[in-house]
Amino acid sequence: MFVVAELLEDGFGETPFYHCIIAEVPGGDASQDSKVVGFAMYYFTYDPWVGKQLYMEEFYVMDDFRGLGIGSEILRRLSDLAVKTRCTGMMFVVAENNEVSIQYYKRRGAEDLSQEEGWRLYRFDKSSLVKMATPTEE
């Protein structure tokens, strides 16, 4: 089972595998800590046709804090970071039944490459990978 400790080491250890930005709101009164209400997790990928890309792995705002522009600001910060770090694009996946999200992204100029160009996402899980791996020579 994947645990918090692994998430911590993987993102904040010597070699981070991902980066995160968070949205926080102040606590109700002076004695309360601020509260994290949204986040995006991302890392850098590569398209050999056009170069470095920013890949948004997770993007979420708590229900009670939607409609306030927090999601849009997170997206704006990520895209600003993408441009500043020499990325030519930003990519992510969206579930096809998530019409609200799909329209949200399309209104902002995103293209659905699965629909428009026919790309299908494939995945090998660990057991398939182990089966395919070249056996070590004895």
Partner 1 sequence: MDVKIRVATKGDCKDISRLIMDLAVHDKMSDQVKLSCDELQRDGFSQNPLFECLVAEIADENKSKEGFTIIGYALYFYIYCTWKGRSMYLEDLYVMPEFRDWNIFCLMSLLMSSSGFGIGKSLLSNIAQVAKEKQCARLHLIVLNWNSHSLDFYTARGAQDLTVKEGWHLVHFDGQSLDHLANETQQIRKCVSGEDKVV
Q: What part of residues 75-114 is at the interface with partner 1 (CB under 8 A)?
A: 75-76, 79-80, 82-83, 87-97, 102, 105, 108-114
Residues 49-68 that bind partner 1 (CB under 8 A): 49-52, 55, 57-58, 67-68
46 is annotated as an active-site residue: no
Residue type, 99: E
- Give the CA distances from residue 95 to residues 63, 99, 112, 123, in Å, rounded to whole numbers and listed in that order: 18, 8, 11, 15
Rounded to the nearest whole angstrom, what is the least distance from the CB of residue 46 to partner 1 in the complex? 4
Member of 14, 31, 133, 137 binding partner 1 (CB under 8 A):
133
Cβ closest to partner 1, residue 34 vs residue 115: 115
Q: Does 115 bind partner 1 (CB under 8 A)?
A: yes
Site string for partner 1, 21-50 (x = CB under 8 A): --------------------x-xxxxxxxx
The one-letter amino acid code at 21 reads I
DSSP letter at 1 equals -
CA angle (92 as vertex; 87, 98 as ends), nearest 5: 150
Residue holding tokens 């994290």? 36
Residue 63 Cβ vs partner 1, minimum distance, rounded to whole Å: 14
Our CA angle for 47, 53, 56, nearest 5°, is 125
Which residues are identified as catalytic? 105
